Amino acid sequence: MRFITSCAILFFSFTLCAALLGCAGTETNAGNLPQPAATTANPVDDEDAQLKKPSGFDADRAFDHVRKQVEFGPRPSGSKANEQTRAYLQQQLQSYGLKVTVDEFVAHTPSPRYPTINMANVVGELPGTTDDVIIIASHFDTKLFDNLRFVGANDGGSSTACLLEIARVLGLKKNAADRKIPQTIWFAFFDGEEAVVNWFSNDHTYGSRHMVESLTAKGQKQKIKAMILLDMIGDRELAIPKEGQSSGWLVETIWNTGRKLGYEANFPLANHYVEDDHIEFLRAGIPACDLIDFNYGGPTNPYWHNDQDTADKLSPQSLKIVGDTILKSLPKISAQVH
């Protein structure tokens, strides 16, 4: 991904009120008997009750996924460790009862050393009651370095781990009605997000671009109703600004949910602008948003793209904060695209 700039925005809050409705008595053989007043359910109370229920997201289980990826070592596209990670993703998703698809493709890069690289996206599918699709995504590759051991615990590892645990939780609810999400869900793990040489022209986001191109070629683009991207969300001091290019309604739904869950500090109301895998979907006219904390270790981003991006810099609680928020946001997102 590439950081562009940041700015502050104002936040406006609105209060939702519910009105009580009454009904008149009906005439019976015994005379006019008063009927009990009927009231509509208060949507605010119902939402609060849903938010208070545990999401089922297991922070320790998610963090184990981070450790496993780090054990594979650096995972640039085309490497043996990248293939091992891909196999691990397949095994985990299949164990959740999901249909798994591996979409292999050849990426053409500007690198004289690696002009072509074999890449593959991994997608776990959770069927819904409609053909409409909501995508939740992460990238699992790490940046290629010749003289640096970059294991990407946060950059690639954290979001991939969080997405696996979200998939497990939702996979336990086989009935779409139990999930309150009629749409089919794709858990998409993109290869080739990182630039092979430098983040310039098309030397980046190979996997997400391949998916969008494939959907367009097959005439299936219109069935994708929303795309939610996770990236770099494991920082111990997690603070995810709103990504300014992302679809506004998706951002507001997710940030409002996170803040109602008590995660105000983790979902600040500032804006920043980042180029990432969501951009390919936005360009195709698909609503998309990016959850990314680009200040990794502080304002100067000292742990990003170097050998300091290790698991000891992360927190299982940060993974849970994002996992809880996405799981609680999905029914609201589903309702807006249903």
Give the pLDDT confidence of 25-55 residue by residue, as tens digits: 333 333 344 444 444 555 556 777 788 899 9
Average pLDDT, the chain: 89
Residue 127 tokens read as 């069927």
Does residue 149 register a pLDDT over 70?
yes
What pLDDT score was predicted for residue 28?
35
* pLDDT the model gives residue 1: 74
pLDDT at res. 45: 61
Q: What is the pLDDT of residues 181-228, one digit of tens each?
A: 999 999 999 999 999 999 999 999 999 999 999 999 999 999 999 999
Class of domain 2-8+56-337: alpha beta
Span of 4-13, 78-87, 136-145, 281-290 with lowest mean pLDDT: 4-13
For residue 42, what pLDDT is reported? 59
* For the chain, percent of residues with pLDDT exceeding 90: 81
Count CA atoms closer than 13 A to 198's CA, side-chain side: 2
Give the mean model confidence (pLDDT) for residues 72-95: 98
Contact at 8 Å (CB) between 316 and 236? no
C-alpha triplet 326, 327, 332: angle, nearest 5°: 85
- Rounded to an integer, the average pLDDT of 141-165 is 97
335 has pLDDT over 80: yes
What percent of the chain is modeled with pLDDT above 70?
A: 87
Residue type, 331: P
Burial class of residue 242 in the structure, from the number of CB atoms within 10 Å of its CB (0-12 exposed, 13-18 middle, 19+ buried): buried
- 184 CB-near residues (< 8 Å, 6+ apart): 125, 126, 127, 128, 130, 131, 132, 133, 134
Q: What is the pLDDT of residues 2-30, one digit of tens each?
A: 767 544 333 333 333 333 333 333 333 33
53 contact partners, CB below 8 Å, separation of at least 6: none
The pLDDT value given to residue 24 = 35
What are the boundaries of each domain within the chain?
2-8+56-337
Three-class SS state of 98: coil
pLDDT of residue 247: 98
| pLDDT at residue 327 tops 50 | yes
Percentages helix, strand, coil for the chain (3-state, rounded to 5) are 35, 20, 40
Is residue 160 scored above 80 in pLDDT? yes
